[in-house]
Amino acid sequence: MEEPIILYEDNQIIVAVKPQNVPTQGDSSGDVSLLDQIKNYVKVKYNKPGNAFIGLVHRLDRPTGGVMVFARNSKSAERLCAQMENGTFEKKYLAVTVGTPLDRRAKLINWLVKNEETNTVRVALARTENAKQAELDYHVLEEADRIALLDVTLGTGRSHQIRVQLQNIGNPVFGDAKYGGDTLAKVHNLALWAYSLSFAHPVTKKTMVFKVFPPLEKTPWKYFNVEKYINTVKPE
């Protein structure tokens, strides 16, 4: 089993990079998940008998890559989840859309409903049964030929949220076969990347910020000056 890319670890948390097309946790595919990899990494490195505890604090869609934090004990998991609830846990994404949104900056607020059978999400009326409010802010950073680079900050963490909300304004994410973003990109990965994570350390309370680049050599990222917008050092 290939070892995951670890950005930071201590006895409370592990911060890692999720590759694209790897599930965050086990699913019906039976494929090895990032959670499985992190558990195995801890078990081997620290010679832990049995199953190592790793708390899943947040998720990324299978086709989405980027930075994630995992808890190494239940108390840290509880405190990180509390930050998710009170809005102090910040997740930022880069997305490449088909076309450029009409508004260069905007807050999108929608009500979303998930179909568990088809694993798809749709925008619905607020009074629709099981509808959940979803909020995000986006900013258009650059434009290229028929595509645009967006910085997206989540206000909520709904399933497929960014993909569905951007589709709803007529600008699906590049490479998104599920939500209409594959018109220009049938052979490319989804152009959605969790590039920044900010939270308070569950014990020290120190603000922790981690940033990672998307695959800059690949389409469509190579058409933009991504380094200009991410203040970090590219991983070796």
Each residue's pLDDT expressed in tens, for the chain with a length of 236 residues: 456 899 999 999 999 999 999 999 877 777 889 999 999 999 988 888 888 899 999 999 999 999 999 999 999 999 999 999 898 999 999 999 999 999 999 999 999 999 999 999 999 999 999 999 999 999 999 999 999 999 999 998 899 999 999 999 999 999 999 999 887 767 789 999 999 999 999 999 999 999 999 999 999 999 999 999 987 544 43
Instruction: Give the predicted TM-score (pTM) of the model.
Output: 0.92
CB 27 within 8 A of CB 42: no
**Catalytic pick from 10, 27, 36, 61?**
61
Task: Tell me the CA distances in angstroms from 65 to 51, 105, 106, 167, one per residue in order.
Answer: 25, 24, 24, 19
CB 1 within 8 A of CB 40: yes
**Which pLDDT does position 71 carry in this prediction?**
97
Say which residues have a Cβ less than 8 Å from residue 15's Cβ, sequence separation at least 6.
6, 7, 8, 9, 67, 68, 69, 70, 197, 208, 210
Q: The tokens 């911060």 sit on which residue?
A: 15
- Check if 61 is active-site: yes
What's the distance, CA 207 to chain centroid?
20
Tokens found for residue 41: 């990494």
